[in-house]
Amino acid sequence: MQNKLKIKKGDTVLVICGKDRGKTGKILKCFPKLRKVIVEKVNIKKKHMKPRRQGEKGQIIEFPAPINVSNVKFICPKCSKPTRLGYKVSGRTKKRICKKCKSEV
């Protein structure tokens, strides 16, 4: 199986299944080998932190956890619709294209 992902850090995506279905957000980090991405304000988990120093209080930290790439769909910046991505090779350059409006991303 190939480890390359078609979506990258900074892309806007729509969550298509799970508890956060319908939410959109930017990709903060990609894990190509695990085929997972971290999307802002999606799949928020809570972590209980112990106090590390004397006098410090324990706290609950909220952070976004990774979700599978198959559960998100790319949103085209031009047509603003959730779509799949394809590639267009011209000369030595390889560009990503929207499958709906055929524009370069």
Tens of pLDDT along 40-91? 999 999 999 999 999 999 999 999 999 999 999 999 999 999 999 999 999 9
The dihedral built from the CA positions of residue 7, 13, 14 and 19, taken in this order, carries a sign that is positive
Per-residue model confidence (pLDDT) at position 21: 97
Per-residue model confidence (pLDDT) at position 11: 97
- Convert the pLDDT of each residue in 96-105 to its tens digit: 999 999 999 8
Q: Rounded mean pLDDT of 33-42? A: 96
Cα(75)–Cα(20) distance, integer angstroms: 16
Instruction: Yes or no: say if 96 and 104 are a contact pair by the CB < 8 Å rule.
Output: yes
Confidence of residue 1 (pLDDT cuts 50, 70, 90): low
Cα 33 from chain centre: 14
